[in-house]
């Protein structure tokens, strides 16, 4: 009987702790919930905002995910992103790229035109921004060039120093086959 009382008391205390733990009270957040903004911002929010702006300056792009499917109309995510881009472009100017691959050339042009109109309606002058098609950081490296670099920089143990713990990196791209420790 005493064992049952102890178990019941333990269960009651555990339940009280769980209920108390679930009540978070008024805690700050470092980000906003997906459906809008919070009044309880974390003290570090301004720092994260600057970091996000720095990344957007580095990688200013829009893609199909920012538009209503099979349409040139911006969705809510696209509107938020373009608003933020507009505020950054207003200060620094720059280029936004559209890297959507679905819908063909006509859809790409229509979406880029929507982006241009939105940015102009945001108060930006036409000379402050440009909208182009393509990946934000460029088209990337040619596959043949990437394969050549990988093949010529392959790790190869140094046969002259076998057993000494030294090895070399063979490369025809300028490393000269130096040794590393």
Per-residue pLDDT reduced to its tens digit, 49-98: 667 777 777 778 899 999 999 999 999 999 999 998 898 888 888 889 99
Residue 28 lies in a domain: no
Flag residues of the chain having pLDDT under 70: 17-38, 45, 49-50, 136-143, 145-146, 149-150, 153-181
Domain range spanning residue 109? 45-133
Which of 126, 50, 47 lies closest to 88 in space, CA to CA?
A: 50
Query: Does some domain include residue 99?
Result: yes
Please give the tally of structural domains in the chain. Answer: 1
pTM here is 0.52
The answer to the question of residue 3 being in a domain is no
11 found inside a domain: no
Answer for the pair 117, 78: CB distance below 8 angstroms, yes or no.
no
Closest CA to 88 of 129, 45, 126, 47: 129
Residue 30 included in any domain: no
Q: Tell me whether residue 71 is in a domain.
A: yes
Q: Is residue 86 part of a domain?
A: yes
Give CA–CA dist 80/123, Å, rounded. Answer: 16
Residue 123: give its domain's CATH number.
3.30.1330.60
Residue 139 within a domain: no
């Amino acid at each position: 009987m005493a064992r049952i009382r102890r178990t019941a008391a333990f269960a009651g205390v555990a339940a009280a702790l769980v209920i108390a733990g679930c009540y978070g009270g008024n805690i700050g957040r470092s980000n906003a919930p997906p459906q809008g903004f919070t009044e309880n911002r974390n003290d570090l929010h301004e720092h994260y905002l600057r970091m996000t702006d720095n990344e957007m300056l580095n990688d200013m792009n829009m893609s199909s995910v920012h538009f209503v499917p099979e349409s040139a109309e911006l969705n809510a995510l696209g509107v938020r992103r373009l608003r933020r881009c507009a505020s950054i472009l207003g200060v620094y100017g720059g280029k936004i790229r559209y890297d959507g691959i679905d819908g063909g050339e006509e859809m790409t042009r229509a979406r880029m035109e929507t982006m241009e109109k939105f940015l102009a309606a945001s108060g930006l002058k036409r000379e402050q921004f440009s909208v182009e098609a393509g990946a934000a950081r460029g088209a990337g490296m040619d596959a043949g060039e990437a394969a050549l670099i990988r093949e010529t920089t392959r790790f190869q143990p140094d046969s002259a120093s076998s057993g000494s713990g030294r090895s070399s990196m063979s490369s025809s791209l300028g490393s000269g086959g130096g040794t590393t420790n």
